[in-house]
Structure 1
Amino acid sequence: MGKASDGTGKAGATSKKKTRAAAKLVSFEHFAPAARVVALVGDFNQWDPSKHPMKLGAGGQWQVAVRLKPGTYQYKFVVDGDRWEDDAANPNKVVNEHGTSNSVCEVP
């Protein structure tokens, strides 16, 4: 599930332009131990699997971190280039135009 942090590592960091919200580092994970390749796609990257490939971690857990501005985003995981899967760890979903669901991530 997408988890946000400010990603700056600096306490009390401020921006010169207060009207612009800072992008936050959001981590995504997907369990697919038999997969050869997994990519994160969403409305933040035009649903393009080439933009956010994931790395295989311990125990079949695929991971990637993406900088996102505050807002609401829809996303899925593309497994082995042809299986589009929801985030099973995230109960927040919406129905998409294909009659399936997309996972939803809220970045504060």
Structure 2
Amino acid sequence: MTEKKVRVTFNFSAPFAEKVFLAGSFNMWSTASDPMKKNANGLWEKIKYLPEGTWEYKFFVDEEWVLDPECGQIFITGHGAENSVIEVRKK
């Protein structure tokens, strides 16, 4: 039986950024596998289908790691790094 995934939309406002990628525990922190698309207003978007659970993530903006400013949950790793956290649940 396949696990049902939930549609999750990630947004990040960075009108002057050249490239933005979504990276997290759901894609092995890949800085290349999930490019985001920029709209005319400078809002970057990526739609992912994720299984239920708790996922850590960040945006990789022009070669720099950035927390999601819209996310209220932060996880501090054992190395002192901070990651944004999303709880994915079926509705």
TM-score, normalization: structure 2?
0.90
Of residues 35, 50, 56 in structure 1, which corresponds to 2:32? 50
Report matched runs for 1:57-76 at 5 Å: 57-76=39-58
Is the aligned partner of 1:104 residue 2:88? no
Q: How many residues align?
A: 89
Larger of the two Rg values belongs to structure? 1
Is the aligned partner of 1:41 residue 2:29? no
Report matched runs for 1:3-18 at 5 Å: 17=1
Counting strand residues as a fraction of each chain, which structure ranks higher? Answer: 2
Structure 1: segments with no counterpart, 5+ residues: 1-16
How much identity, in percent, do the aligned residues show? Answer: 38
Misfit runs of 4+, over 3 Å: none
Per-residue deviation at 1:98?
4.0
Is the aligned partner of 1:87 residue 2:68? yes
Q: Residue 84 of structure 2 aligns to which amino acid in structure 1? A: S
CA-to-aligned-CA distance 1:43-75 (integer Å, 9 cap, x gap): 000000111000001321100001100000000
Taking only aligned residues, the RMSD between alpha carbons, in angstroms, comes to: 1.2
Q: Residue 71 of structure 1 aligns to which amino acid in structure 2? A: G
CA-to-aligned-CA distance 1:3-53 (integer Å, 9 cap, x gap): xxxxxxxxxxxxxx4xx5411111000111110000000000000011100
Give the SS at the match of 1:94: strand
Q: Residue 44 of structure 2 aligns to which amino acid in structure 1? A: W
